[in-house]
Amino acid sequence: MFLRRKAGPASWLVVFLGNPGAKYDKTRHNAGFMAADLLEKSARIRLNRVKFKALTGSGTFGGEAVFFMKPQTFMNLSGEAVAAAMRFYKLPLERVIVVTDDTALPLGKLRVRRSGSAGGHNGLKDIIQKCGGDGFPRVKIGVGAPPHPDYDLADWVLSSLTPKELKELQQPLESALGAVEAIIKSGIDKAMNLYN
């Protein structure tokens, strides 16, 4: 599905958000990391080098040289890793694609956004604060809203997905990678038309 060749200096940065550590593996907040795991299988791009406080890898994706990263700083400090990589590769915000979970979307629904507020997401909030604004494209993977309004949002996003929910997420995770490829290859407008 995806072509892998040796990449030169990165022209795009793709950031998958999540929390490091086995206890967070199948939690809602780690939908971004799950997409990265799928990328490793489907595009054979290994995210196994530690750089910029992240697990990283690079390769050709969507016809461009892409640097992929899974920040290992914990979600709330994701901006540290992203800002360091942006500085190193001298990339503007619009060349940084963030793949993340979203509780405002039903489980498995996908949404591509050109930019926007953090919407209560602490990982996005930290990236906006540390990277100079909210003008970066994002691919949001719906993980569903808490079952009732009093439910603590932090508890909800750190709760594990059921085996049934994990199965339901497989196709949307593949679509998330397709959306990332479409942004790189054809631009954000085309990706939004295709995936929203």
- Which residues are catalytically annotated? 29
What contacts 24+ positions apart, CB below 8 Å, involve 175-179?
A: 175/110, 176/35, 176/99, 176/110, 176/139, 176/141, 177/2, 177/35, 177/38, 177/39, 177/42, 177/43, 179/110, 179/112, 179/139
What contacts 24+ positions apart, CB below 8 Å, involve 22-27?
A: 24/158, 26/160, 26/161, 26/166, 27/157, 27/158, 27/159, 27/160, 27/161
